[in-house]
Amino acid sequence: MEISKAIPVGVKDVKINGAFWAEKQEDVRNKIIPYQWNALNDNVTGATPSHAIENFRIAAGLSEGEFHGFVFQDSDVAKWLEAAAYSLMNHPDPELEAKADSVIGIIEKAQQEDGYLDTAFILKDRELRWTNLIDCHELYCAGHMMEAAAAFYTATGKDKLLRVMERVAGCIDSVFGPGEGKKKGYPGHEEVELALVKMYRATGNHKYLDMAKYFIDERGKQPHYFDVEADRRMSGNTAADYSYWKDWAYEYNQSHKPVREQDAAIGHAVRAMYLYTGMADVALETNDEVLARACEKLFDNVAFRQMYITGGIGSSAHGESFTFDYDLPNDTCYTETCASIGLVFFANRMLRIRRHHKYGDIIEQALYNGVLSGVSLDGQKFFYVNPLEVWPESANKRNDKRHVRIERQKWFGCACCPPNLARMVASLGEYVYTTDDSGVQVHLYVGSEADIRDKGIGLSVHTEYPWDGAVRITVKEARERSFGLSLRIPGWCGDYEISVNGNKADFSLKDGYACIMRDWSEGDEVTLLMDMPVKRMRANPELRYNAGKVALMRGPVVYCLEEADNGGILTSLRLPADAALKVTDGSGLFAGTKLIEADGMRSAPWQGGLYSADSAGTEQKTKLTAVPYFMWNNRGPGEMLVWIRE
């Protein structure tokens, strides 16, 4: 697989000003980051104390006490710092920066002489460092803090955290690696791989890339490292003996075989996404075509065999995991917000390797559905699990749906999703444009100003996307006059027009990218008009749970029925194959968005009894109203349904 090396235009150089995403970013800035700051500092009344910053303070000798929280508690601080860094890139805020600086100061003080930095092991179990990689999260926490360090350095030019994390990397390198006497280990929860590549990119130090590559290549080799460490802890034991997951201990964290031999996503979905992202990063940076091909196989398996139409992944609550091809139940799935975010990371890296619309399609399918459904419209409550069908009484009472919450929550004991969402939204700019030798690529349609410094190109994008398929791109600057401007034509788009300065444009189409090659002048205006009809999506018959049903999509947005609009027992509703689908303007909570209305049918209610041969399936006419899936549950609890009987 040939590797093209597209370079993302960074967050700093992409000012998002289009209403849709600017508002989301504002929520992150004004609500989520401050709220999470309070949560991390144990200042949210009613919430379980996080203790995350206090752990660092104790490790730094600034406070007294014991470690509290999960073994990965440190990562919450890292994700907050990373989100704050992205936010600072385009919105300087001395108060926020001061908070970040203060935390970084504490972190620096908490770091041990040898570079070690993990408060769970500094404050307790000091002698157990690096002995239980399968379950403990030392490398995972280090990875998140490396991501934060790189982002904070980019945002502010301050390198204190970056230097701290270089020392952590040095500590890790002294323990793990190919050298004699070093442990041949790798993380139980992947993350450090992609983070080390970010460290490499931030510092230029090739050692970090080598470390990332080592962790990826070592994974799944025999003798299995997780068995080796289990045997060290108690002679004769294997990882399976120790593990809650038993024999599945290896699949759960994708170490069941070497990564280049893996061709189907398996195990914990977030772990899988972080691993695959790191693999793609290493493939790109090391020109490793074999690894890139493995990545593409895994991507295709996820996108075309194991993904919900919302971009949700992880069809089982057990291990928050993938199960197998086409096993995608709508009401018992896990579809964690973090997993969809991880899928965006993975697709984004693939897009740098190969310009193909499928990667951009999946990025926006996940973003506009399974990612954004994770946060309430007021930016203050969060879903961890994002099912496609919710019957509240059943979710509340059935044990096999106990992971399903019928309303978004303020915070979670395991608080991975809210800060992950914050950093995703805050860093969105980075996902919009790339450049390469051929020119500039536009992957997502986001109202923004892009400043492509190395080429001296400035673009301004105006659009009401995803509610409208019209995109206007103005060339504000074109120091490099001759370049190709490539626009992603989404897979959902069957009909589109491209014009330059009002005239039909000449372009070449390859793998879903329309490339307009010409000499550009300042003020040139490109218009992309994408026809955006409502589509009745059907599922592959192999996907048994959706037989006879349709889902409504318009552009990248998946729609759903809610009890608030359609009454209860949503399964009793039917959308006949010949029903016209009318796009309407939303109002109130939905102002500025598009809803879908249709004439549907409702099964007539019964007077008691469970089964009858006498009912001929009597139906009554009814009006159906579908709302964007990501906006569901902003009007109190109630039923919700994506896949509708036809």
**Phi, psi of 4, deg, nearest 5:** -95, 150
Nearest one of 538, 598, 602 to 574, comparing CA atoms: 602
The reply to whether 604 sits near a second copy by the rule CB under 8 A is yes
Task: Locate 646 and state its tokens.
Answer: 């036809």
Among 47, 529, 537, 579, binds a second copy (CB under 8 A): 537
Three-state secondary structure call for residue 83: helix
Catalytic residue among 171, 333, 416, 493, which? 416
Among 131, 237, 394, 460, binds a second copy (CB under 8 A): 394
The reply to whether 357 sits near a second copy by the rule CB under 8 A is no
CA angle 116, 121, 125 (to 5 degrees): 135
The reply to whether 564 sits near a second copy by the rule CB under 8 A is no
The reply to whether 466 sits near a second copy by the rule CB under 8 A is no
Region from 16-24, 299-307, 367-375, 447-455 binding a second copy, contact rule CB under 8 A: 299-307
The reply to whether 251 sits near a second copy by the rule CB under 8 A is no
Cα distances from 390 to residues 136, 335, 426, 551, in angstroms, run 34, 13, 29, 15
Diameter of the chain measured on Cα atoms: 80
The reply to whether 366 sits near a second copy by the rule CB under 8 A is no
Three-state secondary structure call for residue 68: coil
Task: Locate 440 and state its tokens.
Answer: 């500039």
The reply to whether 547 sits near a second copy by the rule CB under 8 A is yes
The reply to whether 609 sits near a second copy by the rule CB under 8 A is yes
Is 416 annotated as catalytic?
yes
The reply to whether 268 sits near a second copy by the rule CB under 8 A is no
Cβ-based nearer residue to a second copy, 281 or 389: 389
The reply to whether 234 sits near a second copy by the rule CB under 8 A is no
Min separation Cβ 558 and a second copy, Å: 10
Task: Locate 41 and state its tokens.
Answer: 């500092």
Among 60, 228, 569, 579, binds a second copy (CB under 8 A): 569
The reply to whether 622 sits near a second copy by the rule CB under 8 A is no
Cβ-based nearer residue to a second copy, 5 or 397: 397
Q: Could you give the residue ranges of the DSSP H alpha helices within 91-205?
A: 94-110, 119-123, 138-156, 160-175, 192-203
**Phi, psi of 114, deg, nearest 5:** -85, 10
Task: Locate 490 and state its tokens.
Answer: 């989404």
The reply to whether 362 sits near a second copy by the rule CB under 8 A is no
CB of 539 within 8 A of CB of 527?
no
For residues 344 and 359, give the distance between their C-alpha atoms in angstroms, rounded to a whole number.
9
> How long, in residues, is the chain?
646
Region from 79-87, 104-112, 135-143, 565-573 binding a second copy, contact rule CB under 8 A: 565-573
Nearest one of 535, 636, 547, 630 to 590, comparing CA atoms: 630
Among 182, 453, 481, 544, binds a second copy (CB under 8 A): 544
Among 177, 220, 314, 319, binds a second copy (CB under 8 A): 319
The residues that are catalytic are 320, 416
Q: What is the binding site for a second copy (CB under 8 A)?
A: 303-305, 307, 309, 316-319, 323-324, 326-328, 332, 391, 393-394, 397-400, 492, 535-545, 547-548, 551, 553, 569, 571-572, 574, 577, 603-606, 608-613, 615, 617, 645-646
